[in-house]
Amino acid sequence: MESFAYQAPDSLDAAVALLAEQREASVRTQILAGGTDMIVQLRSVDRAPRMIVDIKRIPETRSIKLGADGLILGAAVTGAELSARDDVTAIYPGLVEAADLIGSTQIQGRASVGGNLCNASPAGDTIPALIANGAICQIAGPGGWRELPVEDFVVGVGRNALEPGEFLVALRLPAAQPRSADAYLRFTPRSEMDIAVASAGVRLAVDEDGVCTEARVAIGAVAVTALLVPEAAEALIGTRLDDAACAAAAAASTAAARPISDKRGTEAYRRTVVGVLTRRAAVIARDRALGGQA
């Protein structure tokens, strides 16, 4: 492991200024939240940063605000902190489940939703759940504040849309509709300590008659980035989310997937399973939406 400098600014302004300074000086800089991906990556000499900027002391990155406008989730909030919030879990159970799937109990105490997103793995568990929920990234940088839909944030394997000097502060999720819910499922050969072979996140809302009025479907680990699948959502909207509709959504996900064959699964296997997961996640979200008032 190469040696590096470390700073932990305690305000957004200080962080923006520090990052700008490092950028001016052309210092290879890395943002640290939980560090559960980054510290492993530090061992690879090629990618070793010279400066690490820890954002955990910035209050905006550590807070969870749930209100009438929706949820503002600080980028450094850990999986364990999120799972402990029953009020958030009641509205966004799928997102909480996705965050809860990452790593062991020990990792849960460090790993953050924002870090999982910025790491930009094709198999990142929170990303399809965030896309399904229509999450918006809140980004601070030298040019000020900007917002970007999550589905546009990840641009390639390990690559995100942050410009030099920018960092992710929080994620904003729109307020939940009445009779709406989300669900997230991934497939791994092991029960935990594993990486998704395929995954699916679904958020949907139903009217008083049980007809689906809104839906968003996102799939993971079946392309270079997680994908929003509008065709799957269209297959659900306007239906009573019966078997035929869920099967149609599954077929849409299978068709939208662009997987590769690798050590974790074949292309054909991933296509099949991402459909199965879409169908099962849609059924779970439907039952949640019908069962409880959001």
Partner 1 sequence: MSEAIKAEDFKQIGSRPIRPDGLDKVTGRANFGADFSLPGMLHGRFLRSPHGHARIRSIDVKAALAVPGVKAIVTGKDFPDVEPGDIQGGEGGGDYHDMAVNVMARDKVLYHGHAVAAVAATSVRAAEEAVRAIKVEYEPLPVVLDIDTAMAPDAPLLHEHLYTEGLPEKPARPSNVAQVMESSRGDIEAGFAEADVIIERTYYTPTVHQGYIEPHACLARWGQDEQSTVWCCTQGSFDVRSMTARVLDISVSSLKVIPTEIGGGFGGKTTVYLEPVAIVLSRLSGRPVKLVMTREEVFRASGPASASKIKLKIGARKDGKLTAMSAWMAYEAGAFKGSPMVPGVMCVFAPYDVPAFKAEGYDVLVNKPKVAAYRAPGAPQALFATESAMDELARKLNMDPIELRLKNAVRDGSQAAYGPKFHAIGMEACLQAARAHPNYKRPLGPNQGRGVAVGFWFNVGMQSSAEIHINEDGTATVIEGNPDIGGSRASMALMAAEELGIPYKDVRVLVADTEAAGFTNVTGGSRVTFATGMAVIEAARDIISQLKQRAAALWNVDADMVDWVDGKVVARPGVNVEADPLSLADIAAQSAKTGGPLLGRASLNARGAGPSFSVNLCDVEVDPDTGKVDVLSYTAIQDAGKAIHPSYVEGQMQGGAVQGIGWALNEEYIFDAEGVMENAGFLDYRIPVASDLPMIDTQIIEIANPGHPYGVRGVGETPIVAPLAAVANAVNAATGLQMTELPLSPPRILAALEAAKG
**Binding interface with partner 1 (CB under 8 A):** 1-2, 45, 187, 189-195, 197, 262-266, 268-269, 272-273, 276
Burial class (CB in 10 A: 0-12, 13-18, 19+), 218: buried
Smallest gap from Cβ 275 to partner 1, in A, equals 9
- Taking the least distance from each CB to partner 1, the nearer of 22 and 36 is 36
Dist CA 214 CA 233 (whole Å) = 8
Dist CA 12 CA 1 (whole Å) = 29
Smallest gap from Cβ 118 to partner 1, in A, equals 20
- Taking the least distance from each CB to partner 1, the nearer of 173 and 285 is 285
Of 270, 251, 250, 252, the C-alpha closest to 261 is 270
Please provide the distance, in angstroms rounded to a whole number, between the alpha carbons at the two ends of the chain.
48
- Taking the least distance from each CB to partner 1, the nearer of 94 and 275 is 275
Sorted by sequence, the CB contacts under 8 Å of residue 97 that are 6+ apart come out as 129, 183, 184
- Taking the least distance from each CB to partner 1, the nearer of 2 and 24 is 2
- Taking the least distance from each CB to partner 1, the nearer of 43 and 146 is 43
Smallest gap from Cβ 195 to partner 1, in A, equals 6
Rg of the chain in Å (alpha carbons): 19
- Taking the least distance from each CB to partner 1, the nearer of 10 and 192 is 192
Smallest gap from Cβ 258 to partner 1, in A, equals 18
Smallest gap from Cβ 207 to partner 1, in A, equals 30
Dist CA 162 CA 7 (whole Å) = 20
Smallest gap from Cβ 248 to partner 1, in A, equals 16
Alpha helices in the chain (DSSP H): 12-24, 38-41, 59-62, 79-83, 86-91, 93-100, 105-108, 113-119, 126-132, 230-236, 243-256, 267-291
